[in-house]
Structures are given as structure tokens and as C-alpha cells.
Amino acid sequence: MTKEQLTGAELVIRGLEYLNVSTVFGVPGGAILPAYDPLYDSPIRHILARHEQGAGHMAEGYAQATGELGVVIATSGPGATNLITPLANALMDSTPLLAITGQVASTAIGNDAFQEAYTVGLSMAATKHNYLITDASEISQVLKEAKFIATTGRPGPVLVDIPKDILNQVAAWVEPGDLDLPGYKPTTEPNPKMVQQASSLIKKSKKPILYVGGGIIHSKANNELFELATKFNIPVVTTLMGRGAFPDGHELCLEMPGMHGNYTATTSIQNADLLIAIGVRFDDRVTANPSFFAQNAKVIHADIDPAEIGKVRDAEVPIVGDAKSVIKGLIEALGDEKLDTENWVSELKEMKTEFPLSYKQEDKGPLKVPYVLEELQKLTKEEAIVVAGVGQHQMWVSQHWNFTEPNTWLNSGGLGTMGYALPAAIGAKTAYPDKLVLALDGDGCFQMTCQELITASTENIPIKIVVFNNGNHGMVRQWQKIFYNSKFSASELTHDTPDYLKLAESMGAVGLRMMEKSDIEKVFNKMLEINDRPVLVDCIVDPDDMVFPMVPAGGSNDQIIMNEEDLKNL
């Protein structure tokens, strides 16, 4: 029997279907046009974004909410260059992403053809791996490899660049075979000797801290983590990327440490005698100046990426492996051991009471983001997927929202990409149409990708967006206030341009406004009631509010600025 002959474009779509891809985000264009023809007839849902950056963040939101591969399609040249930001973002936050880009015809490559960019070169440092297809017969195998690389080990983005003539070339559909990747063999099972050494350190520790992050969420190890922490009575700090890996509100949960972490979480690390670091990378936003970080602690560092171990901080016990396997191993090795951590746990409990997160919301005063957030969470009955941009509002959400489940908190942690929230929320809502998806954004962030509100309306993706509108780049303003003598250079936006209600309406969404305390309940209830369209709430907040606690970049985590008063002693 002769094999079925397909065009390269058909092979791409068939390949995606074969890999169980159900949704793709993208923007068409010249070089990728052949692929859009069979896509039209495919059961795969295509979400037409208004900008490739938006499409990329949508795919990231989809992937972060589901823990599965997100797929984005763009054309050559500017289509591909617009994807660089989401690719770099996905690389930093270890999000499994597959990007398929059109390329000019292989005969034109190198000739500066119309809409030609050196996509493989440009994306090399922004992807885990990338490919340039040179023959249509490679397509199915490369797509399978790409998905495998993107979703295994430390997940990340993979780009496949396909010249237009290859998309038109006819080749046989061949089911992809076994993968031949001699240089790619992630270690998932930890070395038992290392696990044993780690458990001996844990047994001796009186002040251990479980310092956990995104790795727990990628490895779906939250149940195992819960068992490890509760069985052996070990307090847990969850990093920005690890929020939800261990439930807030649990007495062992200290929540977020670091630059804007709460006092107890940050200080617990400083006072610990042992850090059990799992799926974290000792990011500078956590450690501040690493020479002052956890000076009294020994370190067990487990990560699936060997390059993270010893990169910032040497570990007494390095463990390469998947978080889930590592934690299971630790639980087994610790057996029925009773750790002597009672004093430590109660010491931290007292610290929590003594140094809570604080803010002051006056009855008639301007709205404070933390207050609005807490009220919003009270009004949402169900578990929401919460998506943030980058800056003050992001820190406040991470601080004040109660996260109890993994994959319910999406944000741009590593790269700090403003404009992430709205498109990522669209991606998450596409994956879970029945869940409440909240984009909690800043006005500066929102304006960077706000055209994607049109995507949400036209594709019928009824997300809810709260724009915390302080008329400023709030975090920039905060730094200028503290470090640049309140010289507010280029940080001022405006409260009223655009008019967010008109903007929402013109883009097919409902716009609501919230200005004072008495508006909150009414406006949020209205927002929660509307489910046939996206809703945007223009929430006017205090431009002078600052995020505390704060440890200045490069400072020591022993010197935490708790409030504006402390700034005077700087």
C-alpha cells in the first residue's frame, strides 16, 4: 500500500493532532499561510490573537494552568521576532511551549527576503532547543521530539521554524518513531545515596525550612510535599513561582520569602539551620545578596536541572531529580523519625503574629490594592485561576491572595514581563472554560497588551480583568521615591486616558469602575455575574501606596524594611 501523501503544511497539522494538541494560539501571515489552510479543516481550535506576543503569552497561560504543552503559531520575520518575549518568558519560568514559525522559502534564506529573520539564531538563547526543518519528511518526527523536549526534564519552550516551500512540499505521512536524542536524557530518579545523606541532615536539624518553588508545580508533587511537611512538622516557604504548591492558611505555611516576601518567611530562612530547597533556583529576588543569605543553614538542593545546583549557593547535599521522586524518597528515608522542630514551629508562629502583612485602608481614603484583593477573594466563592502582570500589583496579589491549589497562580516571575496577565488569562480560560479566571493587572501592564481584549471578546473567552489603576508605573514610582529622591522620571501615566470603560466597551467587553470602598461589593458582584462577555473593572487606587516589606536589591535579608517609617533610617 502506498503511504498517504500530504503537504508539509498538512503534516504539521496532522502532527499536532497526533500529539493530542487541541488548541493553538496564533496570528497568520505570508510564510505560515500554507499551514493555516489545513488548520481550517482540523478539529484543533485556533485562537486568533491580535499580536504574536499575546499569542505566545496565551499559550503560556494555557500551559501554566494545565501543566501541559502550550502551542503558538506565527509567521516569519516580525511574527517570529514578536514571539521572542514569550519564549524568553517561558524559558525563565520553565513553561512547556511549542512555537511553530513560518520561514521564507529555503531557497531565499540568507538573501534578506521580505519578512525574513534569522529565527533559529534569534531564538537560540530564548528556547530550550530549536529546529529549522529542511525537508517535509522530517516534520512528524521533529514535532514529536519538540514536544518531548518541551515537556520533560526542566520544561521549556521549543521552536520549530519551517520554510514556506517545505510547507508546500509533498511527503508521506509517517507515524513518528522512537526518539533518538543521545544528548538529552534528564535524570528524574534521584541518587538514593544523596537522598540518604539528605535525610540524615534533616534528622539532625532543629530549624529546617522547606524552600520550594515552581519545580513542585511542574512535577505535580504538591501532595507529596504536603505529606513531607506535615508528617515531619517542617515549615514551608513558597516562592513566587511556587505559590499554591503548599496551601496558604496551613499553620506550617509561611508563604512568600524575598524582596517583597513577608517578614516571617524571609526571616525563617535567615534563622534556619537547614534549607531543604526543592525545585527552586536561589533567585536574586529570594536571596537578595547571596553572601548574607541563610548564613547559618546547611543546604539540601534538589532540582531536575543539574545546572541550578551550585549556581548561586553551594549545597551540602546536591540531588538531581524530579521533585516528586525526591520527596517520596525523603519521606521513605525519614521513616517514622520524629523531628525535634516543635520549638521552631511555634517560634515562627509567634513571629507571624508579631509581624503580619499590613496595610491601612481608610473608610473615605483612596483604595488600597491589598484591601480590594482581600474583599475580592471573599466575594469569589469558587477557586479562581489568578493571573497577574508584573510590579506592585503582582507582589500584592502574591502576598494577600490565599492560594491553596497548584496551577491557580500564573505570573511572569523570572523575566518579569509586563503585559503578561491579560493574554495568559485568555490562555487559561481557553483550557478551563468553566473556571473563574481573573486577570489582576496594573494599568501600565494592561496597556502593553490590551488589544488582546478584542481576542477575548471575539473568541468568546469571558475572562475578568481588574486593572489596578494608579495612573503610574507603580513599582518604578516606588523605587524613584526610595532611591531617586522622588524624581518621578517617566513613570507617570494617567488615571483617565484611556477611558477604560469606553475601551472595554469598544472592544466588546463590559467596563465597570470602582473608586471607593463602598463600590467594592457592588462592582465585584456585577463582574462575577456577567459570564457571556469579558468584564474589565477599572479600579482606581492610591498612586502613593508602596509594597512592603521590602529588601532593596543586593541588600541583606536580615534588614527588612517593614513600612514607610523604616525608610527614614535607610
Partner 1 sequence: MSERILSVLVEDKPGVLARVSSTISRRGFNINSLSVGPTNIEGRSKMTIVTELDAVEQVKKQLNKLVNVIKIVELDPNMTIETEVLLLKVSINKDSQTSVIEKASLSNATSVDVGQDFAIFELTGSSKELDKFEALMKPFGIIEMVRGGRIALQSNL
Which residues sit at the interface with partner 1, rule CB under 8 A? 120-121, 124-125, 128-129, 132, 149, 181-184, 305-307, 310-311
**Residue 290 C-beta: closest distance to partner 1, Å:** 14
Residue 281 to residue 194: CA distance in whole angstroms: 19
Alpha-carbon span 557 to 46, nearest angstrom: 46
As measured in angstroms, the least distance from the Cβ of 140 to partner 1 is 18
Q: Is 478 left (phi over 0), alpha (psi -120 to 50) or beta?
A: alpha
Query: Which position among 128, 144, 147, 164 bears the catalytic label?
Result: 164
Catalytic residue among 92, 395, 475, 507: 475
What is the rounded distance in angstroms from the CA atom of residue 119 to the CA atom of residue 226?
A: 43
Strand partners, 486: none
Rounded to whole angstroms, the Cα distance separating 149 from 171 reads 25
- Smallest separation, CB 130 to partner 1 (Å): 8
User: Of the two residues 310 and 433, which places its CB atom closer to partner 1 in the complex?
Assistant: 310
Which has the closest alpha carbon to 120: 166, 76, 90? 76
- 448 among known catalytic residues: no
At which residue does the C-alpha cell 525545585 appear? 279
Distance between CA atoms of residues 171 and 157, nearest Å: 27
How many beta carbons lie within 10 A of that of residue 550, not counting itself?
22
Question: Cβ neighbours of residue 296 under 8 Å, at least 6 residues apart?
Answer: 270, 271, 272, 273
- Please return the burial class of 314, using the count of CB atoms within 10 Å of its CB with bins 0-12, 13-18 and 19+: exposed
Q: Is 141 a catalytic residue?
A: no
Would residue 52 show up in a list of annotated catalytic residues for this protein? Answer: yes
Judged by beta carbon, residue 125 or residue 570, the one nearer partner 1 is 125
Closest approach, Cβ 540 to partner 1, in A, equals 43
Work out how close the CB of 154 gets to partner 1 at its nearest, in angstroms, rounded to a whole number: 8
State the minimum distance, in angstroms, from the CB of residue 306 to partner 1.
5
What gap in Å lies between CA 74 and CA 405, rounded to an integer?
A: 33
Give whichever of 306 and 366 is closer to partner 1, judged by the CB atom: 306
CB 217 within 8 A of CB 406: yes
Catalytic residue among 52, 224, 255, 452: 52
Sheet order of strands, 23-26 included: 45-48, 23-26, 70-74, 97-103, 157-163, 129-132
Q: How far apart are CA 39 and CA 10, in angstroms?
A: 8
Give DSSP secondary structure letters for 254-293: EE--STT--HHHHHHHHH-SEEEEES----HHHHSSGGGT
Query: What's the closest the beta carbon of residue 157 comes to partner 1, in angstroms?
Result: 13
When the beta carbons of 34 and 190 are compared against partner 1, the nearer one is 190
Complete DSSP assignment for 93-123: TT--EEEEEEE--TTTTTS--TT---HHHHT
Q: Count of H helices and E strands in the chain?
A: 24, 20
CB contact at 8 A, 27 and 52: yes
Which is closer to partner 1, CB of 311 or CB of 360? 311
Q: Which is nearer to partner 1, 290 or 306 (CB)?
A: 306
Angle of helix 323-334 versus helix 192-204 axis, rounded to 10: 60
Q: How far is the CB of 132 from partner 1 (least distance, A)?
A: 7
Distance CA 386, CA 329 (A): 32
Q: Which is nearer to partner 1, 306 or 416 (CB)?
A: 306
* Cβ closest to partner 1, residue 184 vs residue 359: 184
Q: Indicate the residue among 100 and 456 with the shorter CB distance to partner 1.
A: 100
- List helix spans (H) across 304-362: 323-334, 342-354
The CB-of-101 to partner 1 minimum distance in angstroms stands at 15
Report, as residue numbers or ranges, the catalytic residues: 52, 114-115, 164, 475
